[in-house]
Amino acid sequence: MKKLSIKQYLIISSLIFGMFFGAGNLIFPVHLGQLAGKNWLPAAIGFIVSGTLIPLASLLALAVTRAD
């Protein structure tokens, strides 16, 4: 396994940051929470699954399989 350079670490870390905290994760939760009204709990659960758990599962899959 080859060692990554500093530039490669910066690129990978910025991509991971963008996957978890893109513009959609900053703007949409507040707007969707306002639109959900009394149904805020299912909306929050759906956002957590689609905005956090799915990207985390993809990172774990790449780490476990060591895919390039």
**What is the full per-residue pLDDT of the chain (68 aa) written as tens digits?**
688 899 999 998 998 888 777 767 777 778 888 899 899 899 889 888 888 888 889 889 988 998 76
Contact at 8 Å (CB) between 33 and 44?
Answer: yes
Using CA atoms, how far apart are residues 14 and 24, in angstroms rounded to an integer? 16
For the chain, how many structural domains are there in total? 1
Q: What is the pLDDT of residue 30?
A: 80
Q: What is the pLDDT of residue 1?
A: 67
Q: Is residue 65 part of a domain?
A: yes
Q: What is the pLDDT of residue 8?
A: 93
Q: Is residue 10 part of a domain?
A: no
With a CB cutoff of 8 Å and minimum separation 6, the contacts of 25 are 51
Q: Is residue 14 part of a domain?
A: no
Instruction: Give me the domain span that covers residue 37.
Output: 23-68
Q: Is residue 28 part of a domain?
A: yes
Q: Is residue 11 part of a domain?
A: no
Q: What is the pLDDT of residue 68?
A: 66
